[in-house]
Amino acid sequence: MYLATTDAVAKSSKKTKKTKKSEKTEKSEARRGRVAGPVLALGAVSLVTDISSEMVTAVLPLYFVLQLGLTPLQFGFLDGLYNGVTALVRLAGGYAADRGGRHKLVAGGGYALSTLSRLGLLLAGGATAGIGAALAADRVGKGVRTAPRDALISLSGPPDTLGRAFGVHRAMDTTGALLGPLAAFALLWATADAYDAVFVVSFCFGLLGVLLLVLFVPGRRELSPPKPRDPAARRPGAPALLRVPAFRRVLLAASLLGAATIGDAFLYLLLQRRLDFAVSWFPLLPLGAAAVYLLLAVPAGRLADRVGRRAPFLAGHVALLCGYVLLLAPTDGWPLLVGVLLLLGVFYAATDGVLMALATPVVPRERRARGMAVLQTGQALARLLAAAGFGAAWTLWGIGTALTCAVIALTVALAGAAALLPRTERTP
Amino acid sequence: MTPSAPTAPRSLRSRIIAVAVAAAVLAGVAVAYTLHAARRAQSADAASEFGLDRGQLYFRGTEAGGAGRVARLPAPGEATPGKAAHQAARTTGGPSCERFYAAARTALCLQRRSGIPPKSYAVVLDERLREKRRIALTGIPNRARVSASGRMLSWTMFATGDSYAGSSFSTRTSILDTRTGYLIKNMEEIPLTLDGRRYHSPDVNYWGVTFARDDNRFYATVSTKGRTYLVRGDMRKWAATALRTNVECPSLSPDNTRLAFKKRVREGTRDPWRLYVLDLRTMREHPLAERRNVDDQAAWLDDGTLAYALPGADGRRSDIWSTPADGSGKPVLRVRGGSSPAAVG
C-alpha cells in the first residue's frame, strides 16, 4: 500500500519543491505501469455496476415511450428532474462519507440502493408512480456513491500517479457503460422485448458490484489511520473548504467551463440534423464517443501525471471547442461524424478523471469526499444551466447563432479557467 | 483485481472464492430468467388460439395478462350501454402486434422488435391467424388497414418523429396486393394532382390508406407544405387526386358511401382533432357525437357505427369507444383496455 505517500497529499504544497520532486520521480519510476489494488477493485466495481445501470438507462426511454405510452416530453422532464436530484444528493453523500472516513460504507450504500431500484422497476409493473420511485432511488444511489468513490480512489495511490489511477478507473467504468446498452439490446432482441429480463439481469450485475466492493475495497481502517489534522479540516461544513483558495480556484474554473458546455444530447441532435441519418441509429452516437473516451482515458491520465493536470484539462476543453467549431463549419458526412465523436471522446478522457486528480492535492484528506462532491455538483449545476441556456438560445435565435454563442462562451471560459487554475503543480 | 497489503493475504483466497461462487449463482439466475422470458416470448409468437370469424370484434389488448396481444369478443349489432366492457366474453391469446386490422380472411399485424437498430415488421396472417408473409421495415408502426375483401393491405410507419402532433415527422406508407404479391414499399412516388395540376414536391407524405370494395379505388391523407389533403387514388392507373383539405386518416364505410376521418379543429398540439363523416354523394360533412380529441383512424363496425381508441382512464393506455356514424347519440365504451379495433363481418 501507498499510505506513506498519500499522507503527503494535503500538505504537499508545504514541502520544499526539491524534496517533493525527487520523491515523486522516485515513486513514479517504481510504480510505472502499475495501479494500486484498491483502484483496480473500484474500477471493477464501477465496470460491473455500469453494465447494470447503463442497461436500464439504455432501455428506459423505449420502455417509457413504447411500452408505457408516456410522451417523449414527459420522459425528458422526469429525466431532467432526477438529474437535478443527483447533483444535490451528491453533497449529502460526500458529507456523510467524510464523517469518520466512512467512504466505503456510504459508497456501498449508494451502490446497494441503485441495485435494489431494479427490483423496484420489476415490481412496479408499469405503474408510473412506482417506476418514478424506482428511478428516484437509482439516481439517489448514484448521487450518494460518486463522491466517496472518487475520494477512495484519491486516497488509494501516491499523488503523482493519480491521473493514471483515475484514468484506469474511468476506462473500466466506461467499458461497463459500453457493454451495458449492448447487453440490454441483446436481451431485448433475444426475449422479444421482455423488459423485466433486462431489469433482472441488471439487478444481478448490480449485486455482483456491491459484493466486489464489500470484499475487495479497503475500508476505513486500512485506508486512513487517524492523522494529525490540518487546522482547516476541523472547521465544520463545506464552507470551510471554500476558504481554501486553491480549491476555490479549481471549483470556479470547473464551474465556469461547465457553464459553457452545452451537453452531449444537443451535440448528438445537431449531428443527426446535419447528417440526416435514421433516428434508430441515434443511440449509437454516445457509444462512439464512449469508445474514444475508453481508449484515451489511461493515456490522458498518464500524460496528466507527467506534465501536470492543468494542461490536459484545458486541452480537453479545447477539443470540445473544436467540436463546436466543426459543427459550425461546412464539414459534412463521415468527417463530421467521426470528428465530433472523436473530439467529444478526447474531451471526456482529458477532463473527467483529470479534474479529480487536479483537485486532489488541494483538498485535505479529511474532507476529500466532500470536496469532490462540491466540485462535481458545481460542475453539474453549471452544465444544467448551460444546457437550459443553449436550449433557449436555439429556440430564440436558431441553431447557428446558438452554436456561435457556445463557441464564444467556451473561449471566454477557457481563458478564465487558464487564469484561475493554480500553476503550482510540478512540471517534469 | 488483487488487493495488496492492507487486508490479510490469507483471506484473499476465500474472498475470491466467495465472489466466484456469487458470480456463478447470479449468472445462473440471469440466464434462467432470460430463458424463461425468451420462452414466454415464443409462446406469444406462437400460433393464435383463435382465427378470424364473422361477428367478432378484434382488438389489441393493452392490459396486463394479454398486453400487446390481439384479443376478440363477440360484436353485437348495437352497443349495449351499461354492459359496455364485455369483459367476461373476451378471448385472449392472439398474435402480438403493435397495430392490428383484419377483414374477411386476412389480418395485418404490425410488430416492433428492439435491437440496434430496432426493426419493425408487417406480418400478413391468414384466416387462422397464422403467418403468411413477413415484411421487414423501419420505423414505428402507426396505421394498418385491410380492404373489405382481404386482398389489399396498407400500413403506415413513422420514419422520423413519432406523433402527428409535432411539427416535423415523416411517414412511409406501403401497399400490398396479397393476390399478386406486389408490394409498394413507399407510395410517395404516386403521381398526384392537386388543384387540377400535377404536383411535385419532395415533402409529400402519405398515410392512412382505406380501400373501396373494388380493391382499386382508395382514399388516403397526403401532407405537403404544412397542409393535409384527402386524396382519392386509383391502383390500376396509379394516380391520386386531392379532393379537399384538412382531412386525416380516412376510413371508408362498408357500403362505400361515406368517409370517416379526423379533422383538425384547433391549431397546436392540444386536442387538435375531431371525428367527422363525409357523405361522398353530397360531399357534405358532419361532426360525430364524440367531442373528445381522437387521434386514430376510425374503424367502421357496421354501416352505422364507428369505433376508435382513446387514452384510457386510470392510467390505462387506451380504451375502445364507439359512436353512431350519423352524429346522433353519444359515445359508448366498448372495450376496456384495447386499441386497433377491427370488426370482421
Sign of CA dihedral A127, A128, A133, A136: positive
Place of cell 412511409: B172
Residues ≥6 apart with Cβ < 8 Å to A221: none
pLDDT average, residue stretch B117-140: 87
Contact check, Cβ <8 Å, B26/A207 = yes
**In A, which residues are within 8 Å of B315 by CB distance?**
127-128
- Is B202 an 8 Å CB contact of chain A? no
DSSP assignment string, A35-58 = --HHHHHHHHHHHHHHHHHHHHHH
Among partner residues A41, A68, A205, which is closest to B1 by beta-carbon distance?
A41
Percent helix, strand, coil in chain A, to 5, is 85, 0, 15
pLDDT attached to residue A65: 64
Nearest CA-CA partner of B3 in A179, A263, A36, A91: A36
Residue of B nearest to A59 (CA): B114
**In B, which residues are within 8 Å of A207 by CB distance?**
22, 26
How many CB atoms are closer than 10 A to CB A423?
Answer: 8
The interface residues of chain B toward chain A in range 13-42, judged by CB-CB distance below 8 A, are 15, 18-19, 22-23, 26-27, 29-30, 33-34, 36-38, 40-42
Whole-number Å distance between alpha carbons of A277 and B169: 14
> How far from chain centre, in Å, is Cα A174?
10
Nearest Cα of chain B lies from the Cα of A21 at a distance, in angstroms, of: 26
Whole-number Å distance between alpha carbons of A173 and A422: 28
Residue of B nearest to A280 (CA): B117
Q: In A192-230, which residue ranges form alpha helices assigned H by DSSP?
A: 195-216, 220-223
Give CA torsion, residues A238, A244, A250, A252, to 10 deg. 70
Domain-located, residue A10: no
**What rounded mean pLDDT belongs to chain B?**
86
Give the residue, B228 or A425, on which the prediction is more confident: B228
Domain-located, residue A283: yes
Contact check, Cβ <8 Å, B315/A127 = yes
Nearest CA-CA partner of B323 in B337, B338, B340, B310: B310
Q: How many domains does chain A have?
A: 1
Residue type, B4: S
Q: Over chain B, what HEC string results? A: CCCCCCCCHHHHHHHHHHHHHHHHHHHHHHHHHHHHHHHHHHHHHCCCCCCCCCCEEEEEECCCCCCCEEEEEECCCCCCCCCCCCHHHCECCCCECCEEEEECCEEEEEEEECCCCCEEEEEEECCCCCEEEEEEECCEEEEEEECCCCCEEEEEEEEECCCCCCCCCEEEEEEEECCCCCEECCHHHCCEEECCEEECCCCCEEEEEEECCCCCEEEEEEEECCEEEEEEEECCCCEEEEEEECCEEEEECCCCCEEEEEEECCCCCCCCEEEEEEECCCCEEEECCCCCCCCCCCEEEECCEEEEEECCCCCCCCEEEEEECCCCCCCEEEECCEEEEEEEC
Where residue B159 falls among pLDDT bands split at 50, 70, 90? confident
Contact check, Cβ <8 Å, B6/A200 = no
> A293 near A169, Cβ under 8 Å?
no
Residues ≥6 apart with Cβ < 8 Å to B330: B289, B323
Domain-located, residue A358: yes
Contact check, Cβ <8 Å, A59/B40 = no
Cell of residue A46, nine digits: 464501477
Nearest Cα of chain A lies from the Cα of B120 at a distance, in angstroms, of: 11
- Is B6 an 8 Å CB contact of chain A? yes
Give CA torsion, residues A40, A41, A45, A47, to 10 deg. 20
Coil, strand or helix at A235: coil
pLDDT attached to residue A165: 93
Among partner residues A1, A204, A211, which is closest to B30 by beta-carbon distance?
A204
**Per-residue CA distances from A184 to A187, A191, A373, B179 (Å):** 5, 11, 30, 40
Structural domain containing residue A110: 37-220+236-420
> How far from chain centre, in Å, is Cα A359?
14
- Is B2 an 8 Å CB contact of chain A? yes
Contact check, Cβ <8 Å, B114/A189 = yes
How many CB atoms are closer than 10 A to CB A19?
Answer: 11
> B208 near B156, Cβ under 8 Å?
yes
HSE-up of residue A232 (Cα within 13 Å, Cβ side): 19
Nearest CA-CA partner of B141 in B109, B168, B117: B109
Residue of B nearest to A48 (CA): B23
Among partner residues B4, B159, B315, which is closest to A1 by beta-carbon distance?
B4
What string of pLDDT tens digits covers the 428 residues of chain A?
333 333 333 333 433 444 444 444 444 444 455 778 889 999 999 999 999 999 988 888 777 766 665 655 566 666 667 777 787 899 999 999 988 788 999 999 999 999 999 999 888 766 667 888 888 899 899 999 999 999 999 988 888 889 999 999 999 999 999 999 889 988 988 887 788 899 999 999 999 999 999 999 887 665 554 454 454 444 455 567 777 888 999 999 999 999 999 888 788 888 887 887 766 677 678 888 999 999 999 999 999 999 989 999 999 999 999 999 999 988 778 889 999 999 999 999 999 999 999 999 888 888 899 999 999 999 988 988 888 888 888 888 888 899 999 999 999 999 999 999 877 554 33
CB burial of residue B240 (10 Å; 0-12, 13-18, 19+): buried
Residues ≥6 apart with Cβ < 8 Å to B291: B274
**Length of chain A measured in residues:** 428
pLDDT at B165 over 70: no
Domain-located, residue A215: yes
Whole-number Å distance between alpha carbons of B234 and B70: 32
Whole-number Å distance between alpha carbons of A149 and A110: 10
Give the residue, B148 or B4, on which the prediction is more confident: B148
HSE-up of residue A156 (Cα within 13 Å, Cβ side): 32
Burial B255-270 (b: 16+ CB within 10 A, else e): eeebbbbbbbeeeeee
pLDDT tens digits, B316-334: 678 999 999 999 999 999 9
Nearest CA-CA partner of B124 in B147, B153, B94: B153
pLDDT at B275 over 80: yes
Contact pairs from chain A to chain B, CB under 8 Å? 121
Nearest Cα of chain B lies from the Cα of A48 at a distance, in angstroms, of: 11
Residue type, A137: A
Give CA torsion, residues B236, B238, B242, B246, to 10 deg. 100
Domain-located, residue A287: yes
CB burial of residue A196 (10 Å; 0-12, 13-18, 19+): middle
Cell of residue A151, nine digits: 475520494
Residue of B nearest to A211 (CA): B19
Residue type, A118: R
Domain-located, residue A227: no
**In A, which residues are within 8 Å of B2 by CB distance?**
37, 40
pLDDT attached to residue A406: 93
Cell of residue B113, nine digits: 422488435
pLDDT tens digits, B37-91: 888 776 666 678 899 999 899 999 887 666 788 999 987 644 444 444 445 578 8
Nearest Cα of chain B lies from the Cα of A73 at a distance, in angstroms, of: 11
- Is B43 an 8 Å CB contact of chain A? no
Contact check, Cβ <8 Å, B33/A189 = no
Cell of residue B300, nine digits: 367502421
pLDDT tens digits, B6-44: 444 458 889 999 999 999 999 999 999 999 988 877 666
Nearest Cα of chain A lies from the Cα of B35 at a distance, in angstroms, of: 8
- Beta-strand relationship, B239-245 and B192-194: parallel
Domain-located, residue A228: no
Residue type, B223: S
pLDDT attached to residue A348: 94
Residue A123, H or E segment: helix A103-124
Residue of A nearest to B97 (CA): A192
HSE-up of residue B193 (Cα within 13 Å, Cβ side): 11
pLDDT tens digits, B94-119: 898 989 999 999 999 998 876 556 67
Cell of residue B318, nine digits: 387506451
Domain-located, residue A127: yes
**A408: CATH:** 1.20.1250.20
**In B, which residues are within 8 Å of A193 by CB distance?**
41, 112-114
Contact check, Cβ <8 Å, A188/B163 = no
pLDDT average, residue stretch B146-151: 95
Nearest Cα of chain B lies from the Cα of A223 at a distance, in angstroms, of: 8
**Per-residue CA distances from A12 to A153, A159, A160, A240, A312 (Å):** 18, 9, 11, 19, 21
Nearest Cα of chain A lies from the Cα of B85 at a distance, in angstroms, of: 22
Whole-number Å distance between alpha carbons of B178 and B153: 7
Apex CA B107: angle with CA B102 and CA B108, to 5°? 105
Burial B167-192 (b: 16+ CB within 10 A, else e): eebebbbbbbebeeeeebeebbebeb
Coil, strand or helix at A126: coil
ipTM for the whole predicted complex goes beyond 0.85: no
**Per-residue CA distances from B180 to B151, B211, B307 (Å):** 9, 16, 31
pLDDT attached to residue B340: 93
Sign of CA dihedral A345, A346, A348, A354: positive
Contact check, Cβ <8 Å, B41/A193 = yes
**In A, which residues are within 8 Å of B15 by CB distance?**
215-216
Coil, strand or helix at A330: coil
pLDDT attached to residue B139: 80
Nearest Cα of chain B lies from the Cα of A276 at a distance, in angstroms, of: 10
**In B, which residues are within 8 Å of A216 by CB distance?**
1, 3, 15, 19
Contact check, Cβ <8 Å, B30/A208 = no
Whole-number Å distance between alpha carbons of A154 and A134: 31
Nearest Cα of chain A lies from the Cα of B299 at a distance, in angstroms, of: 22
Nearest CA-CA partner of A124 in A49, A63, A209: A63
